[in-house]
Structure 1
Amino acid sequence: MKKYLIFIFLLPALAFAQTQTAEPAKQADANAPVFKFNEETFDFGSLPQGTPVTHIFTYTNTGKSPLILSQATASCGCTTPSWTKEPVAPGKTGTVSVTFNAAKDGTFMKTVTLLSNTGNAKYIYIKGNVIAKANPNGEENPKQ
Structure 2
Amino acid sequence: MRKLGYIFLVVVFSIVLSAIIKNYLEKDNVAHLSFVLKEHDFDTLRVREDAEFHFIYENIGKKDLIIERITTSCGCTIPYWSNMALPPLNKDSIKVTYDIENKGYFIKEIMVYSNSETSPDRLVVKGYVPFD
TM-score normalised by L of structure 2:
0.75
Structure (1 or 2) with the larger CA radius of gyration:
1
State the 1:48 CA deviation.
2.5
Alignment of 1:58-69 (within 5 A): 58-69=56-67
Where do 5+ consecutive residues of structure 1 fail to align? 1-25, 134-144
Residue 129 of structure 1: CA displacement? 0.7
Determine which of 90, 93, 112 is the counterpart of 1:92.
Answer: 90
SS at match of 1:48: coil
Aligned counterpart, 2:73: 75
Identity of aligned residues (%): 29
**Aligned pairs, how many?**
108
CA contact (8 A) 1:32 1:64 kept: yes
Aligned to 1:132: 131
State the AA in 2 paired with 1:74: T
The question of whether the paired residues in 2 share the 8 Å contact of 1:36 and 1:59 is answered with: yes
1:50 shift after superposition? 6.3
| Partner-residue secondary structure (3-state), 1:29 | helix
> For residues 102-113 of structure 1, what are the structure 2 equivalents within 5 Å?
102-113=100-111
| Counterpart in the other structure of 1:137 | none
Q: What is the 5 A alignment of 1:1-144? A: 29-49=27-47, 51-119=49-117, 120-133=119-132
SS at match of 1:71: strand
Structure 1: distance between partners of 2:102 and 2:89: 40
More helix by share: 2
Q: CA deviation at 1:104?
A: 2.2
Paired residue type of 2:127: G
Displacement over 3 Å in runs of 4+:
49-52
TM-score by length of 1: 0.69
* Distance in 1, Cα, partners of 2:98 & 2:47: 11
Q: How far has the Cα of 1:125 moved from its partner?
A: 0.7
